[in-house]
């Protein structure tokens, strides 16, 4: 496999349909369509944060948070299309982790995959807890533990049946989210530009009438990036799905480009309209509650009955969809680590349907732990886990960009060995995006949460590298 070659030059990519039989020591089954691949990316990136608001970011920058979202959209779009180029050329299991292994060295493949797996498991834990809370909003008598187990069981069942069932389920869950979001944007735009017979149009006065557009100064735009960037995290799952996509070159090229502009449009339009409708200080204070969600206010004002119930249903679907997509990504990276001998051997095994059942089970155990810590906040341990997850996302993005620079050097030197599309000026874009990600990490100087993320995350990275060294020694002795 390409990912297991430490220093060999890139080899021609196998045709998309060249796969070994699953369940017989073979590879993953290519059964995802390009439409499903796009919706999987949206499903992982559009979580509950967008639907219930982004109060901490708004509190940090006021209306100027719009600029933070625009800058974040540009950075994510660059990383997405560059990752898409690499994934189209190498549609292999392990995705960016296997590519980092090939172009930067085995240590990079080990580090990027384990960091992403850990962050994904923590994120899934938060989404599972959120889903349980939304269920209890309707039925408060349901024990929290039972609601968490029910959500986890549904998400695991969808993933373990087959990749086709996962793709179909995630397609429809994401479609519901996108339709609801489009309805919200249309209704909000109606209230902003035209109003209603008994309600005047708000216009955009709220963007400047409470301390101006920059109530906390220009520096606040940078500080808000520490929150904003993580709203976009999750698009990487599109690249992970390349190994199970029927036509990876076409699917990845289409999915990454569509994902980049759709995420940008959804986030930027939503935040602009919300801030135009609701004074920013009220938004900052009311973040995270179904009853105070901007969705409730907008749908209520346009006459949608039971707006709070509708919003709760949407955020429940959003949370379960995000958990579903992240579990898929986490299990595939853990499977690839097992296949490369960098995780326990059982993680590499596939079921007869081509599903890495052991990797799924291991990821689910991690989810259960993260969910319990999230709910009970045991001695602040969950805060520590979230700090590692935040750091992990930034580190993975940097490793993706570093891999891309090495990949482009090889591609320029050996153009006939590569298939797929090429991004003009890709290397320069990678440098720009890398500087942007480092600038986000630099907010640790001012933002306490980022400072904790950097400290704990660096320590965790050192631990992972030590584990890699021990794994390397063990493999050397076995030879």
First and final CA of the chain: distance in angstroms? 19
Do residues 51 and 318 make contact, with C-beta atoms less than 8 angstroms apart? Answer: yes
Distance of alpha carbon 443 from alpha carbon 454, whole angstroms: 10
The percentage of the chain sitting over the pLDDT mark of 90, rounded to a whole number, equals: 26
Q: How many CA atoms lie within 13 A of 335 on its CB side?
A: 28
**6: confidence class by pLDDT, cuts 50, 70, 90:** very low
Distance CA 319, CA 46 (A): 9
Structure tokens at 220: 């606040």
Residue 472 pLDDT > 90: no
The C-alpha atoms of residue 104 and residue 77 are separated, in whole angstroms, by: 23
What digits encode the pLDDT tens for the residues 219-275?
A: 999 999 988 887 788 888 888 888 888 777 777 877 787 777 888 888 899 889 989
pLDDT digits (tens, 9 = 90+) for 424-447: 899 999 999 999 999 999 998 888
pLDDT of residue 22: 38
Helices and strands in the chain, H and E counts: 18, 0
3-state secondary structure of 447: coil
Burial, 461: exposed, middle or buried (Cβ in 10 Å; 0-12, 13-18, 19+)? middle
Distance CA 355, CA 31 (A): 12
Taking the CA atoms of residue 18, residue 256, residue 330 and residue 396 in that order, the dihedral angle to the nearest 10 degrees is 110
Average pLDDT, the chain: 82
- Contact between 309 and 318 (Cβ < 8 Å): no
Q: For residues 172 and 399, give the distance between their C-alpha atoms in angstroms, rounded to a whole number.
A: 32
Q: Write the DSSP symbol of residue 202.
A: -
What distance in Å separates the CA atoms of residue 331 and residue 359, rounded to the nearest whole number?
Answer: 5
pLDDT of residue 117: 93
- What is the average pLDDT across 322-334? 90
Q: Which two tokens stand for residue 61?
A: 């920058």
The string of pLDDT tens digits covering residues 177-234 is 888 888 888 988 988 998 888 778 889 998 998 888 999 999 999 999 988 887 788 8
| Listed residue (214, 192, 248) closest to 33, CA to CA | 248
98 has a pLDDT exceeding 60: yes
What pLDDT, on the 0 to 100 scale, is given for residue 27?
64
Does the structure show a pLDDT above 50 at 331?
yes
- In the chain, the domains with their CATH numbers are 32-478 (1.20.1740.10)
pLDDT at res. 2: 39
Q: Tell me the per-residue pLDDT of 59-95, one tens digit each, with 9 for 90 and over.
A: 889 999 999 999 999 999 999 999 989 988 888 888 8
**What average pLDDT does the segment 115-144 reach?**
87
Cβ–Cβ under 8 Å, residues 276 and 206: yes
Under DSSP, is residue 196 helix (H, G, I), strand (E, B) or coil? strand
pLDDT above 50: residue 17: no
Instruction: Output phi, psi for 230, to 5 deg.
Output: -80, -10
CA distance 463 to 440: 23
d(CA 293, CA 340): 45
For residues 326 and 120, the answer to whether their CB atoms sit within 8 Å is: yes
State pTM to two decimals: 0.86
Cβ atoms of 119 and 393 within 8 Å: the answer is yes
């Amino acid at each position: 496999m390409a990912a297991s070659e430490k220093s060999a030059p890139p080899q021609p990519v196998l045709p998309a349909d060249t796969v070994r039989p699953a369940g017989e020591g073979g590879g993953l089954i290519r059964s995802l369509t390009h439409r499903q691949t796009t919706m999987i990316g949206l499903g992982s990136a559009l979580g509950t944060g967008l639907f219930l608001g982004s109060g901490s970011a708004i509190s940090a920058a006021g209306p100027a948070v719009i600029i933070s979202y625009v800058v974040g959209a540009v950075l994510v779009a660059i990383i997405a299309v560059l990752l898409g180029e690499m994934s189209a050329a190498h549609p292999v299991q392990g995705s960016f982790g296997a590519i980092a292994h090939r172009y930067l060295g085995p240590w990079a493949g080990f580090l990027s995959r384990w960091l992403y797996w850990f962050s994904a498991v923590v994120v899934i834990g938060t989404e599972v807890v959120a889903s349980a809370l939304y269920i209890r909003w309707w039925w408060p008598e349901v024990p929290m533990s039972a609601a968490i187990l029910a959500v986890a069981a549904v998400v695991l069942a969808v993933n373990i049946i087959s990749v086709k069932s996962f793709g179909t389920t995630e397609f429809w869950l994401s479609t519901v989210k996108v339709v609801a979001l489009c309805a919200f944007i249309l209704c909000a735009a109606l209230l902003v530009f035209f109003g209603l017979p008994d309600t005047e149009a708000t216009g955009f006065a709220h963007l400047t009438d409470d301390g101006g557009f920059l109530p906390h100064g220009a520096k606040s735009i940078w500080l808000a990036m520490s929150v904003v960037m993580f709203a976009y995290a999750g698009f990487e799952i599109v690249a992970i799905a390349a190994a199970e996509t029927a036509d990876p070159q076409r699917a990845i090229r289409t999915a990454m480009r569509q994902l980049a502009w759709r995420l940008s449009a959804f986030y930027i339009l939503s935040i602009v309209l919300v801030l135009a409708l609701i004074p920013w200080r009220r938004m900052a204070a009311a973040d995270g509650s179904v009853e105070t969600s901007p969705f409730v206010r907008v749908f209520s004002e346009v006459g949608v009955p039971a707006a709070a119930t509708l919003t709760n249903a949407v955020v429940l679907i959003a949370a379960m969809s995000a958990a579903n997509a992240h579990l898929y990504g986490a299990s595939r990276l853990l499977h690839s680590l097992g296949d490369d001998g960098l995780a326990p051997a059982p993680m590499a095994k596939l079921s007869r349907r081509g599903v890495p059942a052991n990797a799924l089970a291991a990821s689910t155990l991690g989810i259960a732990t993260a969910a319990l810590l999230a709910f009970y906040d045991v001695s602040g341990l969950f805060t520590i886990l979230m700090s590692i997850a935040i750091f992990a996302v930034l580190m993975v993005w940097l490793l993706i960009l570093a891999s891309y620079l090495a990949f482009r050097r090889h591609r320029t030197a050996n153009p006939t060995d590569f298939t797929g599309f090429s991004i003009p000026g890709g290397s320069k874009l990678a440098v720009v995006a890398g500087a942007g990600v480092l600038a986000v990490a630099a907010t640790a100087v001012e933002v306490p949460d980022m400072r904790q993320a950097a400290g704990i995350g660096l320590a965790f990275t050192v631990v992972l590298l030590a584990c890699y060294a021990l794994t390397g020694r063990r493999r050397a002795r076995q030879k």
